[in-house]
Every structure is written in C-alpha cells, then in structure tokens.
Structure 1
C-alpha cells in the first residue's frame, strides 16, 4: 500500500513495430516488473492494460503510468492517451543517444529498446515532451492537411519527372507550356505526346482545349503561340525511342491529372474542417495566413492549449528560433536544422507573404537585412516573430492587431 500523499508511478517502455509491440514495465527503482511481446490492435492493448492493472493493484486510481514510445500518432497511441496514461513520444535520435550512454557495443534488440524507453521515462521524463492532447477537430485537420500537402509535393515530383522526359525527346513542349501541371498542358500532351502528333494540332483544336479548361484572355493568340512552339525545330530521338518516351509521358500526364483532381477535392476538405475550428478566426487574422496555410499551421502546432508554456517554447518547437553553441571563447548562433519540415515550410511561406502585406513585418524584415542578414535568415527571423505573435493571440483569444503586434518594435510602427 502507498503511504499518505505518495503516488505510485509505473514506467512502461513500448518498442513498436507494424505487427507487434515489445513492452516492459518498470518500477521507480528501475526494477523490471514484467515484459512481453503484444500484438498490434485491441487484443494487444487489452493485455497491456491487464499487465499494468496487475502491478497497480488497489492503488490504480492513485497511480501514474508513464509510457515511452517512438511515435506520437496512430490508434495505439490514442488508446494509451485515452486510458489516462502520460505518453511521451521519444525522438528516435534521443533513443539512439541514450542507447550509447548505456553501452558502446552497438548491440540492439526490440526487448532491450523497450527496457531503455522505460528507463528513459523513469529518469528523464522532465526532459521529454508528452504527446499533445489535441482535440478531435485538431486531429482531423492534421489528417487532411498533411495528405493535401503530400499530394502537392507528389505533384511537384511528377512534374519534374515529366520535365526531364520532355527535355530528352521533346524540348519544344517545354517552350510551349509554362506550367506542365496546368490542365491545358496535360490535356494537350495527352492528345499529342510526341513531336509528330503535336505538329498536327490546329489552332482550333488548341483553342477548344483552352476554353474547356477555363482559360481566359486572348485564347486564339495563345493557341497560335503554343502551336508555333510545338512545331519549332529541335533535336530529337529515333522513332522507337520517341515512342517509348511518349508512352511514359502519357502515364505521367494521367498521374498528374489525377493528382490535380484530388488536390482540389482535398482543398475543400481542408477549408471545411478548418472553418469549423474555434481558433480559425484568430489564425486567419494573422498576416500571411489564409485558410489553407492557417490549417497547416494549426495542424502542426496542434490545438492543445497547455502544450506550449510560453512563446519561446512554441518558437523552439517551430524551429524558427536560433540555437547557440558556446564553448570557451567560441560562440556560434545558428539556425535549427532539426525541425518539423511541414511546419517550417508553412511558417516561412507565411513570413514571405507577411512582408508584402504587413507594414510591421516589412519593417522588421528590412531591419534584419540592414544588419547584413541574408534573405533566408531575415525571413526566418520574421517567421520567429510571427510565431510569438500567434502564441499571444491564441493564449488571450484575441485577433491580430498590427499596432499591438509590433509595439515592442517602434520602428516598425513608424514605417
């Protein structure tokens, strides 16, 4: 039994794989209480609860269960959080460094990693970040925004593949189309994926495609320019090689057309989910953040109100704040290279837009450039400042105000 005022603490290490989990239970003294390999799913989670309950006994309601696992997502993690356990998502790099601290032999096994994770949360939980208690709305926004952004990245990769293929056998197409992922380019390349077929396209045929995809302006003039570019002389490939490239182009065009369609569908899903979130109005009041970019920022920060204790903590997570390396007389201030790629991408994009539309952000950017900061460094500093402003707005539940946001930088207000 526990003494009055004492809380029983149980530490669990969970080394997960796709089909199973190696778990170990440890007490406060570091003694192993139990270990097992559990299957993924309901059966495994039920057995884990039973193992924990067996060692908590009558003190279960007063006990605290701390779990270390190398992931922060998935139904298994959600079930752990729902059970009332404190779950720490341990970065695999931290795990590797901790392993080296215990042994230098390089030996590794799933059971040993479970033991190590349990020991990490026992000794270093104050240094680890608990899994955020995001709302269901926040989780839904994360799912659709990440998929939407992934499809955009996929489209960029496939567009580059198409560009490389055309450059090798049909460079005239690159002169004809500014954007290979645009609907008119895809439709025309699907109709005529090789130089011979493209040279037969008439101005009327090209104009019809431009109208169908919703192009505006002088369509006849544009169609004439496209036709001229497609018929221009260029270095080519032998017929059999050209036919092989044309088949590859048809496949890439089909993939890009499908990606365009699904990106448009998911964009509406992102806007719908984000529009229902209570923080949406505050986030979109920030300079440079619309519904899509705002949804990405919300998704990657999460919406747990207690996750970031200060603006500095949010900036550190964002990766916008610099890090200092000091040793003896040497002191170096550098950018953080370990960060959430999706979040930093959204924040830098926001900063680039903010310097165009926010006088305060523009003046702050110019101040950094005047200190000989290059473009990327200055933009990152603007992003860092904007993260702090966003944190304050979310904490106080207030909309962005240009004068208030830059009050600590009078030169920004004067600009």
Structure 2
C-alpha cells in the first residue's frame, strides 16, 4: 500500500505544504493560510490522495512541521491528525546532507520535512496525546518559570545598581532566602530608597514596615539590627547624585514588584489547576514533590501513559548517562541534550528528598562515598525517583518509601 507524508514550512502569512510519496516525489504542493479554511483545504488534499481505497484514512498520513505551538498544529491535533515536530537544528543538519551548496526555499523545505520522516520513520514520533488539562498546566508551568526568571533578572539589575550607592541594602538581606525579592526587603526599599533616608528611620518605623509586609517573627530584633546597619558610617555618593540614584532604584523596584506579583499569581493558579488533575495525588505523594515542582514535572511529562518507557523518561530528563565507546576507548558522561526544564525540575526534586527520604539520602551518600560528585549523585537519585514515578503513573499506586527502597536492597546501582 502506498504511503504519503506532509511537510509544512510555516510563516506568519502563508504555510507551504508539500505531500511526498514513498519514493520521495512531491505529488501535491499547496499554500494555505493559518485559518479554519486553510486546515480544511489541507485535510481535503490528504483525503484525495487515495479516494478509491476503503482502507485508506487521512490519519495514516503524518504532518511534519518545525513549530509545535502554532494554531495550525492545535487544530490538526483537535481533529486527531498525527503531527510530528522536527526541531529547526535537526532540519538544518538534514538540509546540509542533500547538497554541497546549501540553499533554502519554503517550497523545498516543506518537501524536506516530509522526506526526513519518510527516510527515518522510526526516529520521529507523533506528538503525544495529552489532554487539554495537561496542556493548560504545561502553559502555566512554563509561564510561572519565566516569571520567576524575570523576577530574578529584575532583582539582579536592582542589586547591581544598589552596589553603586546603597550597599547596606544588599547586606541587610544577604544570605536570606530570596534576598532582595523578599516582601519586607522591597517594602523597606520603597520607604527608604537612599542611604540618607534609611539612616533617618526609627526602629519603630522599620518594625512597622516589616509587619506591613508580612513579617511576624522577631520583629524587634530584626528592626534593631537593620537600624544599626543603616546608621553605620559608609561611603556615600554626593547628595543630589544619591537622590537621583534613589529615583532610578525605584524604577527597578517597580519592575521587581510587578514580576514578583505575577510569579505569585501564577503560582496560585498553577497550584489550583494541577490539583484538579487525576495524576496530582500520585506526584504529590512523592517526598519533596511540592505543588510547583510536581506541576513542572507533570507539565513536561504529560498524561499520555504510552509516551515514555522508564528508560526513555530518564533519557528525556537528562539523568540517564551517555556512553561513548569506540575501539579501545570507553567513556560515560552525563546527558546534555535533553529537556532542560524537566532536568532542572528533577534536580530540584532530588535535592529536596535528601532531607525528606531516608532511602534517597542513603543512595546519595553511597554515590558520594563511591566517588561521585554532587551533581552526579543527584542524577542517580533522580534516576531512582523517575523509575518510581513511571511505575506509579502506570499502575496508579501512590509512593511508598518501603517499596521504593527495601531495607535489603543495595543503595548503589
């Protein structure tokens, strides 16, 4: 039976679509808009490939594209048309294989995308059949991660500016969790944007500001310490320059406040959204898997039970080692090409289990005693956790420490 593949080279206006047969010849080429009529035109062209056969279905023809986040892809997935996403970097490598003089055209790129999957069908899989709820969590998780990154960038810009005229503000929250991103830090900087203003604050005013920002413990002690810190003699800018730099700092502070507010709102939204999914209790049953870490893991893994094997999940997360063997050389390194968001989430998850799971702690200590570094030992812990998570997602069971780490099992793998 003949087979066909569809390649789509996208753009903001028209999408070039090429349909190739099992010999690599282009049988149909069309340009469509990213609209409902355009999608209908593409599906009609696929149906007309073999209209006389009762065994032929358009779902046997995969659509290959470089960007999986487009509305065109969302509509194709809604009508259950298989879609395969080829990263642009992979596409560029294949383009160089076809000719010595590399050229580029939308029409030929569409045909090339289809031929990539035609020549290597086992190397490329269709997008997983994740639910709408899982896709929503993925969008929120990425947005929350981006908002935290923006808040960190805004904080670092403000900190760099504070070093030029107000180092006491940096020292006040040095070593504390979240540093200048803390609510009390931002509230106090809004009240005292310059060293002169901070030196004029009374202990009562500092305590009042800290309490208004949510501080409830050891108010008097912290207020006294801040009062002493701000009153200590330090190098200063000239008065007019200091005031101007204080105004500039308030601009940075406004950016930081907005970024922190958005991150907090998204944190609440993603927590509520993920809690409604049936997989949430499984993720939350694991040690150190809080609402944000669990949502980030779920966002990258999805809820399609057949998407990963246990080994494939570890490779996708970057915790499985990579072996290079050629002749007499043999080298094992950690995997760098992977899903970076998932790798970061697993690293944070594994680190958190060291104080919450005796089994994870024992495995980590055994790997460190065996010569592994900090990151390598955490990857081994992450491997074990992903194995357990994969099993629980397949079986529907919750996490049990005794089953995950039996007393008689070895802690080293």
After TM superposition, the score normalised by the length of structure 1 is 0.92
SS at match of 1:133: coil
Q: 1:17 aligns with which of 4, 11, 21?
A: 11
Structure 2 CA distance for aligned equivalents of residues 409 and 254 of structure 1: 56
Does residue 173 in structure 1 map to residue 169 in structure 2? yes
Q: Deviations over 1:48-83 (max 9, x none)?
A: 223223334344762311111112333221212223
- 1:193 paired residue number: 193
- What is residue 265 of structure 2 aligned with on the other side? 265
The corresponding residue for 2:229 is 229
Rounded Cα–Cα distance in structure 2 between residues aligned with 1:13 and 1:240 = 63
> Does the 8 Å contact 1:293/1:350 carry over to 2?
yes
Matches within 5 A, 1:13-412: 13-59=7-53, 62-63=56-57, 64-178=60-174, 179-308=179-308, 310-407=309-406, 410-412=409-411
Matches of 2:50 and 2:194, distance apart in 1: 71
User: Relative to 1, partners in 2 of residues 1:37 and 1:247: Cα closer, same or farther, differing over 3 Å?
Assistant: farther
- Quote how far apart the aligned CAs of 1:135 are: 0.6
In the superposition, relative to structure 1, how do residues 404 and 258 fare at CA in structure 2: closer, same or farther (>3 Å)?
Answer: same
- The answer on whether the counterparts of 2:317 and 2:340 sit within 8 Å (CA) in structure 1 is no
Query: C-alpha distance in 1, partners of 2:13/2:155?
Result: 36
Q: CA deviation at 1:295?
A: 0.9
Deviations 1:373-404 (A, max 9, x none): 00011001111121111101111111111222
How far apart in 2 are the matches of 1:397 and 1:354?
A: 21
Q: C-alpha distance in 1, partners of 2:375/2:316? A: 19
CA distance in 2, matches of 1:284, 1:347: 14
SS where residue 323 of structure 1 aligns? strand
- Which digits, 9 at most, give the CA deviation of each residue in 1:154-205, with x for residues without a partner? 1111111111110112112112233211111112212221222222222222
For residues 14 and 406 of structure 2, what CA distance do their matches in structure 1 show?
Answer: 54
Q: CA RMSD in A?
A: 2.0
1:307-333: per-residue Cα shift (whole Å, max 9, x none)?
A: 11x210111111110111111111111
Deviates more, 1:316-325 or 1:76-85: 76-85
Q: d(CA) in 2 for partners of 1:92 and 1:285?
A: 38
After TM superposition, give the deviation of residue 232 of structure 1 in Å: 2.5
Q: Which runs of 5+ in 1 are unaligned?
A: 1-5
The 1-side partners of 2:282 and 2:52 are apart by 46
Structure 1 position 409, deviation (Å): 6.9
Segments of structure 2 that go 5 or more residues without pairing to the other structure are none
Q: Which moved more, 1:53-62 or 1:341-350?
A: 53-62
Q: C-alpha separation between the residues in 2 aligned to 1:37 and 1:234? A: 68
Q: Secondary structure at the match of 1:324?
A: strand
Contact persistence 2:188–2:210 (CA under 8 A): no
Q: Aligned equivalents of 1:212 and 1:318: distance in 2?
A: 42
Conservation of the 8 A alpha-carbon contact between 2:130 and 2:302: yes
Give the distance between the partners of 1:403 and 1:177, measured in 2 at CA: 41
Separation in structure 2 between the aligned mates of residue 199 and residue 351 of structure 1, nearest angstrom: 44
Cα distance in 1 between the residues matched to 2:229 and 2:117: 64
| 1:408 shift after superposition | 9.7
Q: Return closer, same or farther for 1:269/1:301 CA change in 2, 3 Å cut-off.
A: same
Deviations for 1:279-323, whole angstroms, at most 9, x for unmatched residues?
111111122212221111011111111111x21011111111011
Question: How many aligned positions are there?
Answer: 406
